[in-house]
Amino acid sequence: MGMLITKKPEKILIVRLSAIGDVVHVLPALRLLRLNFPKSRISWLVEDKASDILTGHPDIDDVIVFPRKKWQGTVLKINKTLGTLSDILSFYKKLRREHYDLIIDFQGNLKSGIMNLITGSGKKVGFGREFCKEFNYLTTHYQAFPPKKKMHRIDKNLFLLKELGIENGFQRPKLPVFKPDKKYISKFIKTDINPSLPIIIIHPGTSKFGSYKQWPPSNYALVADMILDTYEVNVVFTWGPYEFGVVKEIVEKMKHKALPACETRSIKQLVELISRSSLFIGGDTGPLHIASILDIPVVGIYGPKDPEIYGPYNGNSIVIKKDVPCSPCRKRTCGDPICMSTILPYDVFLGVEKMFTTEKH
């Protein structure tokens, strides 16, 4: 049963704390929300590591950063604990002080449930019992029950808005980038690579948390060489914190010349670099979802995660996945990740070939 909105909410709070890919998956819903409530003040509660995507976003009035990383680092240092505790207290007070008319919890777990309760605010909308985790449904007033369990995250998030009487419809969201970031990426492209040739971006890394989705670096080296054997392109390897070593190892293994990307000091710089590419290759990570939402052709390498739920969303993408009996799975570690190890470099290269032939037609 949908929730009736009799008057347009003045203040709306979106709760989706992390990770980068998950935040990106809520952006189409944000676009729809803004189109339906042009005059409402929309705030978004997000963790520090994913907040950069949202700063300066035209559809958001206020980005509230939950400084999880900072607090985790200081809570155990006795001399800083008191400062942190007063930080935490003022953060909670700010959330309560705002008196939001409407809270939309796209996350649906214990962490976001606690945030819902802290706000002490008006109408809270979230997912129903089978569609959220850790008793989150107890913290919301109105629950959405999507028509099926297996739904792409973007569609599931759009479905949540149906509770507000906002009918479904994918709108390509904005991913704003600041001028200095554009300049920084332009300089890298002009200086280090051939600007007249298309750019293929390969992102071989995964977050530390997602290392079980990692495809072997030697495979990436082989795919990149196959591409450069066949096409006149620039192959650029992007990397995040702590991933430069992997990229260096790949580039050194190759017989052709490929380049590590410049250091992207923010998600915005990475967004800008991806937006300049003609094709993106990588696993189920934040950068893949950024490429997909920017409508860059994607070749996704999928192992444990179900691409129906977590795959690239745009039409011009190909998922490389092996039919193994244990995939998809929810394991965080695996002694024998056959879902990844059975994917061969040639399988991925065939995906690239397919994308190149469809691009030409």
Spatial CB neighbours of 290, under 8 Å, sequence gap ≥ 6: 20, 24, 175, 267, 270, 271, 274
Q: What is the average pLDDT value for the chain, to the nearest integer?
A: 91
pLDDT score of 90 = 85
Per-residue CA distances from 355 to 189, 204, 229, 273 (Å): 23, 19, 16, 20
Give φ, ψ of 51 to 5 degrees.
-70, -25
Average pLDDT value for residue range 140-148: 94
pLDDT score of 84 = 74
Q: Is the pLDDT of residue 1 over 50?
A: no
Average pLDDT value for residue range 110-135: 93
| 108 vs 207, residue with greater confidence | 108
Reference 263, options 239, 280, 242; nearest CA is 239
Binning pLDDT at 50, 70 and 90, where does residue 6 land? low
Please report the domains of the chain, with CATH numbers, ordered by start residue.
11-162 (3.40.50.2000), 180-360 (3.40.50.2000)
pLDDT score of 91 = 87
Overall pTM > 0.85 = yes
C-alpha span between 5 and 101 (Å, rounded): 11
C-alpha span between 235 and 198 (Å, rounded): 9
Q: Hey, how many other C-beta atoms are within 10 angstroms of the C-beta on 118?
A: 15
C-alpha span between 277 and 180 (Å, rounded): 19
The model's pLDDT over 312-340, given as tens digits with 9 standing for 90+, comes to 998 889 999 999 999 999 887 888 889 99
Q: Is the pLDDT of residue 39 over 90?
A: yes
The model's pLDDT over 56-78, given as tens digits with 9 standing for 90+, comes to 999 999 999 998 777 776 655 66
The model's pLDDT over 192-232, given as tens digits with 9 standing for 90+, comes to 999 999 999 999 987 666 676 789 999 999 999 999 999 99
User: DSSP secondary structure string, 45-86?
Assistant: EEEGGGGGGTTT-TT-SEEEEE-HHHHHHHTTSHHHHHHHHH
Q: What are the helix (H) ranges across the chain?
A: 20-24, 27-36, 68-74, 78-97, 110-119, 153-162, 179-192, 217-230, 244-253, 267-275, 286-293, 307-310, 338-341, 345-360
Looking at the DSSP bridge assignments, the partners of residue 300 are 282, 319
C-alpha span between 282 and 279 (Å, rounded): 10
Q: Hey, how many other C-beta atoms are within 10 angstroms of the C-beta on 313?
A: 20
The model's pLDDT over 8-28, given as tens digits with 9 standing for 90+, comes to 899 999 999 989 999 999 999
pLDDT score of 42 = 98
Least trusted range by pLDDT, from 87-91, 94-98, 172-176, 261-265: 87-91
Average pLDDT value for residue range 240-255: 94
Q: Is the pLDDT of residue 262 over 90?
A: yes
